Structure 1
Amino acid sequence: MRLAALFTLATATLASAASMPGTWKKLVHNQFASNAQLTVPAASTKTLSDDKVQAWNVHTLAEFPNYRLRVKEETKLCDPNVKQYVGYVDVTGKSDDKHFFFWFFESRRNPEKDPLVLWLNGGPGCSSLTGLLMELGPCRVNPGGNGTTLNPDSWNNEANLVFLDQPINVGFSYTDGEQVSNTVDAAEDVYAFLQLFLTTYKQYANLDFHVTGESYAGHYVPAIGHKIAEENDALKRNRLLKNSEKVEVNLKGLAIGNGLTDPLVQYEYYADMAADEKYGPILDDRDIEEMRSKYPTCKRLIESCYKWNTAFTCVPGAIYCNNAMIQPFQKTGLNIYDIRKKCDPSNPLCYSILTDIETYLNRPDVQDALGVDRQYEGCKQDINMKFMMAGDWMRPFVRDLPPLLAKGIRVLIYAGDSDFICNWIGNKAWSIELEWDGSAGFQKAKDLPWIAKSTGKQAGEFRTYGALTFLRIYEAGHMVPYDQPEVSSEMINMWIDNRKH
């Protein structure tokens, strides 16, 4: 979440800008400034007192001289029965500083042996605390934001779990300088965080590690996996040449839920999703045929982005394709993240619980416990715009996956089948078309029923070969852990333990 924040709020303006390259940035800025403001409580005026500043435990690493880890280790919010760490990675820049917020929970089962899982929400520009308090975290926010309730299906049942607010200015993360506007730079900061965290808390350094996320994390997760593997290889090569405080991250797997990973393939299947009869069709034949007729132009624009990988060649595809494939959905009044439902008018992103999360995280007592003094917003449209205008949207981060698969790093692509914005049809299509060592075997593999042990019923269907698995999850939208908490918990536990389906 929240890819469609851009799609549903700005496509008309972007379409008019397509023929006027010089005005793209101004038009997009005006659209966001006028139509896309989220409703949040008034900003907090409190500041952290000196004694609270001194309560931080500060850790550094010589090989990352501009970074430091600042941690509070006594937090008891959300799940008071497990060890928690909250804090910031502070980055000193040449002209500005950056501060990335994180929240860590130990496993409820066996923290000394259970894997370490990193969760990232998408957007780009949305806080991973959405995942914590709405989806897969140890607790779920109560209606009205007056507290939380333990989540029995949390992903920390069998994993140590960390939520990171990235890129900068997302959620409680902040900077007074320039924002990150591309996935590659964001991955650099995530890797530095992992090194600081794992060298500080060495009890987790040798655990299996998994990078997980949803939506625009279909960009983030492959890029972070690529960065980790690249740095691990460099550490192995240089181990005999010099001493290094850095650790090899024990990367075992990636999991992407309803992600945007291979736009070239995925954009072709919006029309098929609109015509799919399980929950629809949701558009009439004329609209669907018009979408199909526009895909060849969309394809040519994305191919140009894949070839040249510059803002100049990538922004046009985002403008044209989003208008052609997403705008027809706007007239339905349906929730673009779950076509079974109408969009909840109480929140611009269709879910009232997002307002509850903002209310809860802006409470003074909660902010005191977390050691923060920032106004929390779940999603920020200016970050979304910056990524789009940098050409990041259509770039082929799918290309980071074949080398990882070749190393035996397992990749799970899962998708709730009532999501429109990153629908299961497009996600399955690109996983089948992916060129890697096991392509032929994956293409020939059969789709098999997945029977959830928690319900005894068929919860979806999967295809697997070698290190790659695609899983379609029934009766779930963009945020699978929100719609199917028991099933999603069983899914991730099977995945990280590498159990057979």
Structure 2
Amino acid sequence: MKIQSFALLAGSASLASAFSIPFLDDASFQIPFFDKLKSKQSLADKAAVAFGDIPEDLESIWHEMEQEFPDQAAKYNFLSKPSKLSSSRKTEWLYNVRDDEFPKHGLRVKDPSILGVDNVKQFSGYLDIDEDKKHLFYWFFESRNDPANDPIILWLNGGPGCSSNTGLFFELGPSSINQTLDIVRNPYSWNNNASVIFLDQPVNVGFSYSDKTVDNTIAAADDVYALLSLFFKQFPEYSNQKFHIAGESYAGHYIPAFASKIISEPNRNFNLTSVLIGNGIVDPLVQSAYYEPMACGKGGYPSVLEPRECKKMRDAHPKCAKLIQACYDTDSRFACVPANFYCENALFEPYSKTGLNYYDIRIPCDGDLCYSQIDWVEQYLNQEHVMQAIGAEVESFTGCDSGVGVAFSATGDGSKPFQGYVTSLLEADVAVLVYAGDKDFICNWLGNQAWSNALEWSHGEKFALETMKPWKIGEEEAGSIKNVEKFTFLRVYDGGHMVPYDQPEASLEMVNRWISGDYKLGTK
């Protein structure tokens, strides 16, 4: 996905992923989501066809947006992308698991260790959901330490539409990929003291595929729960360990919803202990107020915008907040989609003109996804011998799938609130870590700190009043932290959107302490 779309790469989320939509100019995406939509229709007319009758006050907002952003509105056709098709590649599976408890699901397992990504036991393959013809790809690595007792972590990248294999090879997995497409061992991999599952979800992300479309977070939760249940059924030796879900960016939507789905299932066969949300988008209403402060010198880094551009962002925010509030109040597409559209164009446009990296305010954007190293990962994973080894059943691998982003955007999922699920997790005694690299713009630490402080839960007032304390690794101050009970917020100094990439040592220290049950991360 091109960066101009603002959909967030490797760990990426976006308040409005896919709505600045230059990539929709590509003829391959010009497939009408609704046949009745014609290019000469107004934005409000298109919305009416797609969503049904729209209240008069919201209809006027659609017309206002069309006038304010005519170039974007002209391209806005509620389009979707065809589902990925599987390849003709033949695979010999180590296991092909079926279980009476999940009669419509299967789990295929392959041993990809021949690639040398790590020397631990590992599995890759697909969860098959027969009824819906869905196939979710996963890659599992045992702990380098004590796999019989170390916890399990499920890692999720964001987007929506970005593959967790990007997180594997670019951020926190056992190895990275260099420019010559060679494997480079990562001494700071999160599987140093935990077994890790990297999952491509929802369907049509990364190596996953389907002739169906998943276009919202709640629907994706059912598929993830099915995969985990079958995985731990096939490998019961891992089912008694503590289980954690971690991820970043749009995973700020995924993780709270997926974890809430898990704890709602009384007969689950694994033990959810905690979640870790990195530079996430969880509460768009609160977080939208912090794009201007982060870009304009109030987040610990000098302003990257001229005063007039900062004012432009400040002036746009009240309307953005009003639209997101309407989304919160109605939970409907005809309210949530305008919030996505307006807030991205109004709040992100000034920053986009700088040419700076959305995920690290200190550096320029380099390449389609702002990091040239992402291209190396894609090239490596598209090699035929790699696809054969892991059992991939798609014709090609793409790090971030724009079609998935468009599908989610057409439901307004990005502007919906997910902080209520976090409340439910804390009240159910599930620990929650919110961590944020402090040089990210797109899901910045100011907004993450703000929604954490505003969260309503049994110890919410105490948490809001708690002061930040220095967080040290040895004698070096690596961040600042606050904690009450099982809720922790951590600001990681000099980390961007992808903390494990920018600050690998601090990232590993954080995760090792957290999964050991040290929710203060070494502070007193």
TM-score (norm: length of structure 2): 0.85
What one-letter code is carried by the residue in structure 2 that aligns with 1:324?
A
Contact 2:176-2:183 at 8 Å conserved across structures: yes
- Greater displacement, 101-110 / 325-334: 325-334
Q: Output aligned runs, 1:199-238, within 5 Å.
A: 199-231=233-265, 234-235=266-267
Q: Deviations over 1:350-405 (max 9, x none)?
A: 11111101100011111111112421000011110110111111111111011110
Q: How many residues align?
A: 469
2:365 matched residue in structure 1? 343
What one-letter code is carried by the residue in structure 2 that aligns with 1:75?
S
1:261 aligns with 2:282: yes
Contact 1:78-1:149 at 8 Å conserved across structures: no
1:243 matched residue in structure 2? none
Query: How far did residue 204 of structure 1 move?
Result: 0.7
Contact 2:19-2:409 at 8 Å conserved across structures: no
Match of 1:10 among 11, 20, 26: 20
Residues 47, 8 of structure 1: alpha-carbon distance in 2 compared, 3 angstrom cutoff = closer
Provide the aligned C-alpha RMSD in A.
2.7
Match of 1:306 among 328, 334, 343: 328
1:457 aligns with 2:480: no
Query: How far did residue 47 of structure 1 move?
Result: 3.2
Q: 1:251 & 1:180 partners in 2: Cα distance?
A: 24
Query: How far did residue 70 of structure 1 move?
Result: 0.4
What one-letter code is carried by the residue in structure 2 that aligns with 1:390?
T
1:160 aligns with 2:195: yes
Contact 2:128-2:134 at 8 Å conserved across structures: yes
1:132 aligns with 2:153: no
Residues 7, 387 of structure 1: alpha-carbon distance in 2 compared, 3 angstrom cutoff = closer
Contact 1:29-1:385 at 8 Å conserved across structures: no
Q: 1:164 & 1:13 partners in 2: Cα distance?
A: 26
Query: How far did residue 207 of structure 1 move?
Result: 0.6
Tell me the secondary structure at the aligned position of residue 332 of structure 1.
Answer: coil
2:148 matched residue in structure 1? 112
What one-letter code is carried by the residue in structure 1 that aligns with 2:182?
G
Q: Deviations over 1:266-325 (max 9, x none)?
A: 001111111225332011211112212222211111111111111112111111111111
Residues 460, 17 of structure 1: alpha-carbon distance in 2 compared, 3 angstrom cutoff = farther
1:22 matched residue in structure 2? 45
Residues 434, 205 of structure 1: alpha-carbon distance in 2 compared, 3 angstrom cutoff = same
1:286 aligns with 2:331: no
Tell me the secondary structure at the aligned position of residue 326 of structure 2.
Answer: helix
Q: Deviations over 1:430-453 (max 9, x none)?
A: 000001001111012110001113
Contact 1:18-1:316 at 8 Å conserved across structures: no
Q: 2:40 & 2:302 partners in 1: Cα distance?
A: 32
TM-score (norm: length of structure 1): 0.88
Q: Deviations over 1:466-491 (max 9, x none)?
A: 11111001111000000111110111
Match of 2:204 among 152, 169, 179: 169
Q: 2:244 & 2:392 partners in 1: Cα distance?
A: 27
2:433 matched residue in structure 1? 412
Q: 2:388 & 2:73 partners in 1: Cα distance?
A: 34
Matched-pair identity in %: 45
What one-letter code is carried by the residue in structure 1 that aligns with 2:121?
K
Query: How far did residue 20 of structure 1 move?
Result: 1.9
Q: 1:213 & 1:359 partners in 2: Cα distance?
A: 23
Query: How far did residue 74 of structure 1 move?
Result: 5.3
Contact 1:13-1:31 at 8 Å conserved across structures: no
Contact 1:120-1:213 at 8 Å conserved across structures: yes
1:495 matched residue in structure 2? 514
2:356 matched residue in structure 1? 334
Query: How far did residue 8 of structure 1 move?
Result: 7.9
Contact 2:117-2:183 at 8 Å conserved across structures: no
Q: Deviations over 1:121-152 (max 9, x none)?
A: 000000000100000000001114x2211100
2:110 matched residue in structure 1? 72
Query: How far did residue 46 of structure 1 move?
Result: 7.0
Contact 1:138-1:151 at 8 Å conserved across structures: yes
Q: 1:11 & 1:100 partners in 2: Cα distance?
A: 27
What one-letter code is carried by the residue in structure 1 that aligns with 2:99?
L
Tell me the secondary structure at the aligned position of residue 413 of structure 1.
Answer: strand
Q: 2:40 & 2:463 partners in 1: Cα distance?
A: 41
Residues 294, 371 of structure 1: alpha-carbon distance in 2 compared, 3 angstrom cutoff = same
Tell me the secondary structure at the aligned position of residue 225 of structure 1.
Answer: helix
Q: Deviations over 1:139-180 (max 9, x none)?
A: 001114x221110000000001000000000000001x2210
Query: How far did residue 59 of structure 1 move?
Result: 1.1
Q: 2:508 & 2:44 partners in 1: Cα distance?
A: 46
1:427 matched residue in structure 2? 448
Contact 1:5-1:349 at 8 Å conserved across structures: no
